[in-house]
Structure 1
Amino acid sequence: MRKVSHATGRNDLLAAQVNNRRANDRAIIENPLAYFTDAELELDVQNFAETILPSVEYEKILRAAKVAKDIRLYDEVARSPDPNMGLDLPVLLSPREKKHLKRERDVVFSERGMRRVIITVSLAALLQGFVQSSFNGASFYRHHWGLPGEDHDVTWRLGGANASPWFAAALVGCPLSLPINYWFGRRGGLIIAAALIFASSVAAIFAESWVALCCIRIVNGLGMGIKAVSTPILASETAVGFWRGTAILAWQLWVAFGIMLGFAFNLIFTTASDENLTIRFIQGAPLVPSLMLFVMALWFCPESPRYHLQKGPNYSPEKAYKVLRQLRNTELQALRDMYTVYKSIEQESMGSLSQDPNANLSPGFWWALWDMCLAFKQLFQQRRLYNALISAGTVNLAQQLSGVNVFAFYSTELVSSVSGDSDGGHVKPMAYSLGFGAINFLFALPAVRSIDTLGRRRWLLMTLPFMALFMLGGALSYSIQDDATRTGIIALFLYLFAVAYSPGLGPIPFTLASESFPLSHREAGAASAISVNLFFAGLLSVLYPSIRDDNRGLGDAGSLALFAGLNVLAFVLVFFLVEETKGRSLEDLDLVFAVSKRRFMSFQISEYLPWFIKRYIFLKDVKAPELYHDMIWGPTKRDSEASAPHLRQASLHNTSPPQPYYEPQQHGQGPLELSPTYSRGGNDYRQYGY
């Protein structure tokens, strides 16, 4: 093998992987350490220990780096009941390390340090649900703000008051999360958001006109936009990669719980003898969870370690490692994640579109703002970025196309019109709304764990057809003549709709928005995708009163039928445009989204759809096709089981990397060697097909 300098070889390796991250035409998912020989890994770790993390001994970092490089083998050792397995590996795992490596993949929230993050995320979500319930309950008392009756002007003013926080969140709050996250971090974003919502909730107690209410809700919307971006990013960047979806799921789960709890309090408040007191209680209810979130984020929640690895005013690998030590159960896990994340960010930085030599330093206020504007622009210039934006934006749009926020915003009015209790019948509409919130919460629970095992895409494709069917059933039920029967049947279909929505389209939009983008563009990408969600929520809020207007619009039945059709459209969009992200690290997703959308769509039509028809319609036992293939060094699991143990162990001590194999995403189905001549001879990295 021709000898090359470490620096030259290292730069070639990085250049090869950077090219693959930007245009992954072969759909290969690779470990960022895959091409290092043992000698190169040792030299790179030595440089890392001296320049990046000098507080930790070189030997400890090298030990973690070796585990990260061959993580598949060490996972097998950790999961094996044989105590002698792995004794010949370069790194000998302690019993405690084996235990926690196994629990990391088998047990949801096995990392004790994640509990404070999950509590913080849950409080942020609970606050979101409380705010939505507050808006919903307040709409029932429109006359308090000078909006009596059902005439055209009143309808538009009510819609404007209800839409103002969502438009403020989408157009100002979400973009504002970029500078706030840049200077103050994800925790800082939550603290500022909690303060804004607290202040607006106090002010809403004293609002006497719809104009004042609209202005107060704009302030509330700024807080919701900042929080909606910062919270899922915090969850995604701190979670173990395998259970990232479940960690972010805490957002939707507790939004649903907040809606349910908010409706419960609304129902209690309606029993007050003084209507003015009822309205003030409903309007001020969000101030309690906002204060709890402020305290939790300020004093107890850890910051994202990836934030401290992002170039900027708070860049500090030492702080990042300190946070990882709090989040992970063992030093080995913390150092493993620290090293692999840093290497992925290093590759990401080399592939940045920005040519400014100060890009990694971000000096000055105005330069930082310009860099943030550039980040939004770059979302539409690089395949890896705009593919992620299409995927995350599609799912966030689909959530609003489903019509779920018709019930979140207007369920009290909708039930009142169905049951004929619009004049003073407060309790029944509030009770139906409470039932909707309870179902939304309870049926989000099945997505815990399964969002990371079954997958995001599969949940969506399974539930969207049922959502369309149940929405259509609700629309057709308006033809029933008997009031009591009509109300019950429509409520049943809407509850069934909530059952289908809760584990699928409920949690997945914010999950994809927070995980799909690289660190350099994570806030810009998440803000853009979530802005789509919140903007269309505002649009729905302002338009729905007119859509359901019996005189000028479609009426209640027609509006539900419209959303039934939009659910079908959402299904088509998801099928063709949304990739699966389960089981991948945040850094692996660079390679998933670098595959062209055209190739992804072609795969769905030419391979996945024919397989689905054969498997589930004709019931043939055929192997599922795979678009992505993992690159690994050495034997696959199937090879290991078929070969003698001493041969497998011997391969681990070969300093020259063996022929790389490509294995389907679902490990254990057998290796797929794409190129027999694909070797590392002579360090000619061009032959890797990049």
Structure 2
Amino acid sequence: MAQGNNNKAHATSKDIKALVHHDTGLDEAIHFERSLTFLQACTLYPSAILWSAFVSMGVIMLAFDPQLLGNLYAMPQFRKDFGYLYKNDCIISAPWQTGLSMGNPVGQVVGALIAGYPMERFGRKWTFGTCVALTACLIFIQFFARSLQVLLVGELLGGLVLGCYAVIAPAYSSEVCPMALRGVLTSYVNLCFVIGQLLGNAVCAGTSKLSNHWAYSIPFALQWFWCLVILLGLAWVPESPWWLVRRGKLDEAEMVLRRLASDKVDVGKTLTVIVETDRLEQELEMGSTYWDCFRGVNLRRTEISMGVYCTQVLSGIYLINYGTYFFQLAGLDNDEAFDMGIGFLAVGFLGTIISWPLLIRYGRRKIYNTGLLVLVVLQIIIGILDCIPGRPSGVIWTESSLMLVWNFFYDISVGPVCFVIISEASATRVRSKSIALATAAQGALGCVMTVAIPYMINPDQANMQGKLGFFFGGLTAMCLVWSFLRVPETSGRTYEELDILFERKVGARQFEKYVIESEGVD
């Protein structure tokens, strides 16, 4: 009845039972979704694209905050008002850099885990709105802070809320779009990270020459702009149809689907697919709690989600938060460092956009593993260059330029593909909690890097400069080995098919070519 490659024996009575329950309408809906091209999906689902992008704006705030802090350490007026004198210049001590920068990763740990509960109880929409309102209130602490102690409180409290956006955005995007748009819209979350970081660099570059507190107060105040835009549009944001189905609100789910799609789409059949997938996951006893993320087949799916997200940290992404400061320490003057910091993120913006046609053409696994390999090579080269005696100016500029190349390849592969994989690898019933766990794991590693990086790069500490390439190159190489063995190809599969593939324990390297054959399934 059910077979596929050499794994016929892995088929269970439950997944076979689920497969043969397909009716004609369900088969037609699945066939319709598979047949859609990217451009056709854009035409048929314009509202889904709009609202997915709208909810992802929360990630811009999440990325803006740590990037802002990293630039403040390089801002003369901020160092003068909050730092101490060291070798004829003011600096912020490594312990205070660590403490201030902890707000964001700690927030991702605690905030992400907290977000999983209201997202399932109250839905994606109202959890998102509450977080934005809280963020708007907590910005007041940062804006009026005139001591490192007060600023630390503002960063820690703000980080708790900001961490929720990293869970809400990919979960929402993966649940409001068809399969043809799933890769691009979930990877758009990475573009929002880049936009937030780019704006943080650009704003600080523009205000860094001011000689009063507005040099850093203006960047803090600009965070209110995003809160205002989101709160004004929140009333029209549709709820996730997948969440509504799990709550038994089928009529509301159908109305939401009509808002997300054009009149040419038979939303009744789309609703049937959602209901059927939810029923299959109930039959496979996938559950909907944090504990269920570690039970049975969900354990492997949670491992993949946590692994790809943690790989972002281990490959060196937290250096972006210190980009401008890193370029200063590498030997560039203040203006050159700020310009290089903006260019650093501009190529990341371009890289993320280029990743979209690659995702459509080549899927997830190939891009992800190839990107990791390129990052390893670039990091080792940077480390070797830093060992040249005397570090002449040509070497300094070469190292800085290679960092731009590194960020370009990161944002073609590891950055955007991560958000696609965590959205597709998780079962729909535990998606919010699986993404929350992955975000928390990434945040926990981020805390380690936040402690370590200031001590590794500060001139009064290890002052490693480009030799950080050896450190992160080694970590990235280990991530590449794990990814090759564990990360499957998830593109071109419905959520129901992914449930079956994981249930049958199909190997990561067999996912792409594995054939599911059964009655009612093409």
1:302 paired residue among 227, 238, 255: 238
CA distance in 1, matches of 2:232, 2:83: 36
- Tell me the distance in 2 between the aligned counterparts of 1:626 and 1:278: 52
Is the 2:115–2:164 Cα contact (8 Å) retained in structure 1?
yes
Larger relative CO (CA 8 A, sep 6+): 1 or 2?
Answer: 2
Structure 1 stretch displaced more, 151-160 or 580-589: 151-160
Q: Distance in 2 between matches of 1:210 and 1:32?
A: 61
Residues 116 and 227 of structure 1: CA distance in aligned 2, closer, same or farther (over 3 Å):
same
**Are 1:173 and 2:111 an aligned pair?**
yes
Structure 1 residues 491 and 351, CA, compared in 2 at 3 Å: closer, same or farther? same
Q: Partner of 2:517 in structure 1?
A: 631
| 2:301 aligns with one of 388, 397, 405 | 388
Structure 2 matches for 1:88-167, cutoff 5 A?
102=36, 106-108=40-42, 110-140=44-74, 141-146=78-83, 149=86, 154-167=93-106
Change (3 A) 1:551 1:214: closer
Number of residue pairs matched by the alignment:
512
Q: C-alpha distance in 1, partners of 2:226/2:113?
A: 24
- Provide the rounded CA distance (Å) in 2 between the counterparts of 1:576 and 1:345: 29
* Partner residue in 2 for 1:434: 342
Match of 2:321 among 409, 434, 440: 409
* Match 2:28 to one of 56, 67, 73: 67
Query: Match for 2:282 among 349, 353, 369?
Result: 349
- Match of 1:561? 470
- 1:275 is paired with a residue whose SS is coil
Q: Secondary structure at the match of 1:208?
A: coil
Maintained 8 Å contact 1:29/1:629: no
Correspondence for 1:264:
202
8 Å CA contact 2:329–2:459 kept in 1: the answer is: no
Paired with 1:346 and 1:267, the residues of 2 have a C-alpha distance of: 53
Match 2:257 to one of 320, 324, 339: 324
The structural deviation recorded for 1:554 is 6.5
Cα drift, residue 572 of structure 1: 0.7
Inter-partner Cα distance in structure 1 for 2:43 and 2:331: 44
Identity of aligned residues (%): 18
1:552 CA displacement: 5.1
Q: CA deviation at 1:595?
A: 3.7
Displacement of 1:103 in angstroms is 5.2
Q: Is the 8 A contact 1:194 1:290 kept in 2?
A: yes
Q: State the Cα distance separating 1:107 from its structure 2 match.
A: 4.7
The 1:333/1:395 distance shift into structure 2, 3 A limit, reads same
Deviations 1:390-434 (A, max 9, x none): 11111111110110221x21112111111164xxx3x22211110
Compute the displacement of 1:459 (Å): 0.7
The 1:590–1:327 alpha-carbon spacing in structure 2 relative to 1, beyond 3 Å, is same
Could you tell me which residue of structure 1 aligns to residue 454 of structure 2? 545
Per the TM alignment, residue 475 of structure 1 is displaced from its structure 2 partner at its CA by 2.1
2:33 and 2:180 in contact (8 A); partners too: no
The 5-angstrom pairing of residues 187-198 of structure 1 reads 187-198=125-136
What is the 5 A alignment of 1:519-598? Answer: 519-549=428-458, 553=462, 555-596=464-505
Q: Aligned with 1:309: secondary structure?
A: helix
Gaps of 5+ in 2: none
**What CA distance in whole angstroms lies between the structure 2 residues aligned with 1:282 and 1:412?**
16
The answer for the alignment partner of 2:214 in structure 1 is 277
In the TM superposition, what is the alpha-carbon distance from 1:262 to its structure 2 partner?
2.2
Q: Could you tell me whether the CA contact under 8 Å between 1:510 and 1:530 is conserved in 2?
A: no
The runs of 5 or more residues in structure 1 that have no matched partner are 1-12, 18-22, 42-61, 77-100, 355-371, 609-624, 634-656, 662-690
Distance 1:75 1:256, change over 3 A: closer
What is the alpha-carbon distance in structure 2 between the residues aligned to residue 441 and residue 27 of structure 1?
A: 44
Q: 1:292 — aligned with what?
A: 229
1:473 aligns to 2:370 (yes or no): no
Q: Give the aligned residue type for 1:389.
A: T
- For 1:180 and 1:404, locate their aligned partners in 2 and report how far apart those are by CA, in whole Å: 29
1:630 maps to a residue whose letter is: I
Q: How far apart in 1 are the matches of 2:190 and 2:171?
A: 14
Q: Any conservation in 1 of the 2:62–2:163 contact (CA below 8 Å)?
A: no
Distance (Å, rounded) in 2 between the aligned partners of 1:264 and 1:337: 43
Deviations 1:543-569 (A, max 9, x none): 111123566537123322100111111
CA distance in 2, matches of 1:429, 1:420: 6
Superposition TM-score, scaled by structure 1 size: 0.69
Larger Rg: 1
Q: Which amino acid aligns with 1:229?
A: V
Question: Deviations along 1:200-245, whole A, 9 cap, x unmatched?
Answer: 3232111122221121111221222111101111000011023211
Distance in 2 (alpha carbons) for counterparts of 1:501 and 1:291: 31
Q: CA deviation at 1:570?
A: 1.2
Structure 2 Cα separation of the partners of residues 229 and 266 of structure 1: 27
Alignment pair present for 1:506 and 2:442: no
Q: Determine helix, strand or coil for the equivalent of 2:507.
A: helix
Q: Deviations over 1:372-404 (max 9, x none)?
A: 7xx112222212x11111111111111101102
SS at match of 1:465: helix
Corresponding residue of 1:240: 178
- Determine the structure 2 residue equivalent to 1:207: 145
**Structure 1: distance between partners of 2:92 and 2:67:** 24
CA positional deviation for 1:27? 10
Corresponding position of 2:267: 334
Per the normalisation by structure 2, the TM-score is 0.89
Return the alpha-carbon distance in structure 1 between the equivalents of residues 449 and 48 of structure 2: 36
Inter-partner Cα distance in structure 1 for 2:39 and 2:253? 23
| Cα distance between partner residues in 2 of 1:181 and 1:246 | 23
Query: Are residues 341 and 259 of structure 1, via their aligned partners in 2, closer, same or farther at CA, if it must alter by over 3 Å?
Result: same
Between Structure 1 and Structure 2, the one with more helix by share is: 2
CA distance in 2, matches of 1:29, 1:461: 33
The Cα of 1:144 is off from its aligned counterpart by 2.7
RMSD of aligned Cα (Å): 3.1
2:37 & 2:422 partners in 1: Cα distance?
Answer: 27
Post-superposition CA distance 1:162-208 (Å, at most 9, x none) = 112211221x2011112221233111222122223222323211112
Counterpart of 2:168 in structure 1 is 230
Residues in 2 aligned to 1:232 and 1:440: alpha-carbon distance in whole angstroms: 19
